[in-house]
Amino acid sequence: MLLFTNRKPLDHDVTVFGPITADLKVSTSGTDSDFVVKIIDVYPNDYPDTHAPQEPANSIKLGGYQQLVRGEPFRGKFRKGFEKPVPFEPGKPDHIAFRMPDVAHTFREGHRIMVQIQSSWFPLTDRNPQKFMDIPNAHPGDFVKAMERVYFGGADGSRIELMIGQ
């Protein structure tokens, strides 16, 4: 899993709205892989708990809480289009670009913005055997371990685009 969090807490509120575009440069040691992009609001470690006295003692503590703002999976074999799936060439970098559902969220002053990119979101999405095949017909022996890589930096590195309000 690739994890990016702005190092310093925000010094002002940041409102994001509209679609989020994920433009990823990736590779896999397999011939298919999923990529899940998550945008997360990270509360300050000293954020006060707001539970009422009648709530149970084991209620959620908000200090350091990581609130999922938006998450979206994408099956890599459809990166060239949904009409004809295409296998990855193992180890060769390729691009995946997809639009995530719209969002309207304000990251408050003192919070941080985290981006996670991972290859599985089971059980929310079905497992990918990491092989280019008809996944619903996969047998237990078809599932293999694979190494995914997300490239960032440079002119063609991975990036997440979102609209920021004033």
Contact 105, 15 (CB under 8 A): yes
How many Å apart are CA 157 and CA 138, to the nearest integer? 32
Give residue 106's pLDDT: 97
pLDDT tens string, the chain, 166 residues long: the values are 655 666 789 999 999 999 999 999 999 999 999 999 999 999 998 887 766 566 666 666 788 899 999 999 999 999 999 999 999 999 999 999 999 999 999 999 999 999 999 999 999 999 999 999 999 999 999 999 999 999 988 888 999 999 998 6
Cα–Cα nearest to 13, from 115, 101, 105, 102: 105
Give residue 10's pLDDT: 94
Q: Could you tell me whether strands 34-42 and 66-75 are parallel, antiparallel, or unpaired per DSSP bridges?
A: antiparallel
Contact 96, 89 (CB under 8 A): no
Give residue 6's pLDDT: 67
How many Å apart are CA 153 and CA 91, to the nearest integer? 18
Q: For residue 74, give the amino acid letter.
A: F
Give residue 56's pLDDT: 63
Secondary element (H or E) of residue 159:
strand 159-164
pTM (predicted TM-score): 0.88
Give residue 165's pLDDT: 84
